[in-house]
Structure 1
């Protein structure tokens, strides 16, 4: 009787040189690419394998449907910076009180209406305040009026407009409560300060929720946990790096609000109303390194301001309110990795009755011209103005 024979084992070939695999690979499993002892060091670094993976990603970007991208609520912003792309960090920078939270709340409201799932870390406010802002956008009320209780006080005096807005907000909260889909789309974190550990946990929760993007307002609220890092700047560095890793790993955009510092402007009283500079950022070098885009927010000055008035404002003998436009928000491409000629360009948005909207083209042109000291009109009109 002939004994049964063992089926021959298929000879493994090196994925790089196609020679025989002369040394068994530790932990080798079926389907894993094998390498000979001379080229085993190339495992996970094989240029052919990595190149194929990179081309797959490039083709994914090439064939991405515009409807799958996350756009800004405003035409001016989409033209300036383009939509939010997966795997990239975008910073929104402004001085304290410069409109970061209002800007991001408008974005949040827009993204939710488009069916996006968002993980939101509002480190400067609590979840209740976020819903106050969303409700105000729903009915066209000023969030500042509602949160400062001025709206309630106006209602108590019998102000007809305040009574109507107060009643509409009551309805908005009731509708929010009943919208299960909305509440499942939006997760508002309750953490009060960022540590590397807490941020990693929030990213894991976002991944479990299959969030379309993560928003942090703002990323400079850092704390150092025992055993982590020696200083806040080291913690900040680690957080920026973790954010970029998370964006790439989850293949989603992450938006980080960050603060500009007046002390870095030489305490210029008009710095809040000029195109912002990355030199004014906290931890500037790391953020510039990590960011695909840094968008600066500022207020705009009124058209046709007398230059002497600006000198008087800087000297403190004239109030800033004399030169500042109440209803304009300027957005500047401080850094646009793929912006080309759009870098350092500024666009304007209208900010009225608690809502941010695109600005009429003619009005935008006039205000921007004034911002840059350009006189519009015919030659005779420009001579008279000068």
Structure 2
């Protein structure tokens, strides 16, 4: 394990995680519809706009047909049009996690996660498993029934996108981060849905101290059951990378092996994320762009990849073309946080790191 360093370095890397998450989310948001915006279609879009290799936010669409197929938010998410971050659940849940730890500390309960959703998060800004769990909460159900009753999305990606704050507040402690993420995830997910959250939290925590992204991935794999489909798929991507197979061929192979799960399921998205991280090899821009070009849930995968890459390199090493358009401002549906400063969210996260040793036992 590589030491995290002193407080200035830790602060830089926590801020890097926040900036990376938001930038990656913004990069992937216009093409977030994995059944339409396949890997091949995304690259055709980029070729028409003369933007391959991709080194910046997505370009404006080159044709009217492309413009009609993008998500309507594209006008605020493509290069030259960005003035602060767009609102998105991938960022809302990071903010909610921060508020949860500030309010209840590291000994929070799953029930308190649900209570905070009802207090802070509008129902119509929840989706799939989170909306099912929210509906179950309002009907008076308690965990774990909130995750299992009338919820066909239990293994989708929602819990994974909620995990970052547990990694940011547990630098170098992947098992602790995973335990926190699990306590949050079981409100709405089961099986690989929960394992995805644990994997992401551990991966981000490990990125603070691991010497390479591969070491961080290995540490993250250690917190989930080795026989789970998520763990087997992540190992499969890593083994293909080790053989020298190209990024394109690796994703083609794993896409065939995970066919039928759907573009929002945790497992195929974990494969895209893992490939982006390994073939990005610690380079912030390459990690983000490869991950988003991989398709599926592009904004969620871009956000998590950006968080890991931002922690690995620190905010000071992120190219300004990714951070300056964000204008240190985040839009959010979480009550009380719209228009918050990204730098202030990072400072509040750092304060939680400083008190973590006084937290309740996990």
Same fold, TM-score > 0.5, yes or no: no
If asked which structure has higher relative contact order (CA below 8 Å, sep 6+), I would say 2
Give the number of the structure whose residues are more often strand, by fraction.
1
What TM-score bracket applies, with the shorter chain setting the length? 0.3 to 0.5
**Bigger CA radius of gyration:** 1
Give the number of the structure whose residues are more often helix, by fraction.
2
TM-score by length of 1: 0.32
